[in-house]
C-alpha cells in the first residue's frame, strides 16, 4: 500500500482528498502544522506528496525546496495558481506534476498512479541510497555524500554507519554494534569500536558535518 502525504491548508479540500485516496486504497497522512511539513516528510517517509502552493503564512515552493535537500519522493503540486510562471517554478524546484484546481478526482488518481508506477521501477536503486539529516550513505560505493562532497569509507566504517542508519533516532548499545561489526566470532577490544567511530567522525568533519553521531555515555550511539 503506497503512502501519500497531503500538505493542504483548506480543511474541506484536505478531507476530500483524504477520503478519495483512502477509498482508492492508499495510506494517507495529513500535515496541519506547515512549519513542520518538511520534518513530517522525513518522519513519515511517504511514497508521494500532494502539495498546495499557497499555504497559511508559508509557501509550498519553500517546502518543496526543503524536501529536495534530502529526498526524491514524487511531489504533485495541487494549486489554484495556473500561471505558466508558477508551473515552471514548480518543476524547476523538483516537482513531478502540476495540477490546477478544480481537478477531476479520477484524473488526479490516474496521475498519482502513473507517477507511482514510474518511480516503482527505480525502487531498487533508491534502496541503495540512505539519507538522514542531509547526509547520504551510498550502499553501492561505500561513500558518504554531503553538499556535493564525498568521502570513502572502510568496510567497518561503512558497516558502522549502515547499522546506525537502520536504527536511526534510537540509541544503539555498543555491544549490539560490536556484535554486528565483528559477528561475535572473536573477542574484540571495546576500544576498537571507539576507534572506528572516531574515524567516521573525522570523515564527516571533512564533509562539514558535525555532531552527526551522538554519544550516550555508558550506553551507545545515536544518529
Look at 159 and 187; give whichever has higher pLDDT.
159
β-strand partners of 132: 135
DSSP string for residues in the chain: --EEEEE-S-HHHHHHHHHHHHHTT-EEEEE--GGGHHHHHHHH--SEEEEESEETTEEHHHHHHHHTTT----EEEEES---HHHHHHHHHTT-SEEEESS--HHHHHHHHHHHHHHHHTTHHHHHTEEEETTEEEETTTTEEEETTEEEE--HHHHHHHHHHHHTTTSPEEHHHHHHHHHTTSS---THHHHHHHHHHHHHHHHTT--S-SEEETTTEEE-
pLDDT at position 186 is 52
pLDDT at position 71 is 85
| Stretch 150-166: mean pLDDT | 92
DSSP string for residues in 23-82: HTT-EEEEE--GGGHHHHHHHH--SEEEEESEETTEEHHHHHHHHTTT----EEEEES--
| Stretch 201-215: mean pLDDT | 95
pLDDT at position 163 is 93
pTM of the model: 0.56
Q: Is the pLDDT of residue 167 over 70?
A: yes
Residues 12-29 have pLDDT tens digits of 999 999 999 999 999 999
CA torsion through residues 135, 138, 144, 147, sign: negative
- When the pLDDT of each residue in the chain is averaged and rounded to a whole number, the result is 89
pLDDT at position 187 is 54
Contact 140, 150 (CB under 8 A): no
Q: What is the spatial distance between Cα 23 and Cα 28, in angstroms, rounded to a whole number? A: 10
β-strand partners of 48: 4
8-state DSSP, 9: S
Residues 59-116 have pLDDT tens digits of 899 999 999 888 889 999 999 888 889 999 999 999 999 999 999 999 999 999 999 9
Amino acid at each position: 500500500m503506497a503512502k501519500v502525504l497531503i500538505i493542504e491548508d483548506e480543511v474541506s479540500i484536505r478531507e476530500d482528498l483524504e477520503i478519495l485516496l483512502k477509498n482508492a486504497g492508499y495510506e494517507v497522512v495529513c500535515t496541519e502544522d506547515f512549519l513542520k511539513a518538511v520534518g513530517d516528510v522525513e518522519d513519515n517517509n511517504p511514497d508521494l506528496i500532494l502539495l498546495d502552493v499557497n499555504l497559511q503564512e508559508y509557501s509550498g515552493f519553500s517546502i518543496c525546496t526543503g524536501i529536495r535537500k534530502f529526498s526524491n519522493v514524487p511531489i504533485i503540486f495541487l494549486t489554484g495558481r495556473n500561471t505558466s510562471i508558477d508551473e515552471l517554478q514548480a518543476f524547476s524546484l523538483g516537482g513531478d506534476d502540476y495540477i490546477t484546481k478544480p481537478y477531476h478526482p479520477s484524473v488526479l488518481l490516474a496521475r498519482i498512479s502513473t507517477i507511482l508506477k514510474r518511480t516503482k521501477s527505480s525502487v531498487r536503486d533508491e534502496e541503495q541510497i540512505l539519507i538522514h539529516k542531509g547526509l547520504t550513505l551510498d550502499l553501492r560505493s561505500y561513500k558518504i555524500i554531503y553538499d556535493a562532497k564525498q568521502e570513502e569509507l572502510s568496510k567497518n566504517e561503512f558497516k558502522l554507519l549502515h547499522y546506525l542508519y537502520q536504527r536511526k533516532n534510537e540509541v544503539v548499545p555498543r555491544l549490539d554494534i560490536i556484535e554486528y561489526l565483528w559477528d561475535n566470532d572473536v573477542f574484540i577490544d571495546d576500544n576498537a569500536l571507539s576507534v572506528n567511530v572516531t574515524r567516521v567522525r573525522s570523515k564527516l568533519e571533512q564533509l562539514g558535518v558535525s555532531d552527526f553521531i551522538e554519544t550516550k555515555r555508558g550506553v551507545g550511539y545515536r544518529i
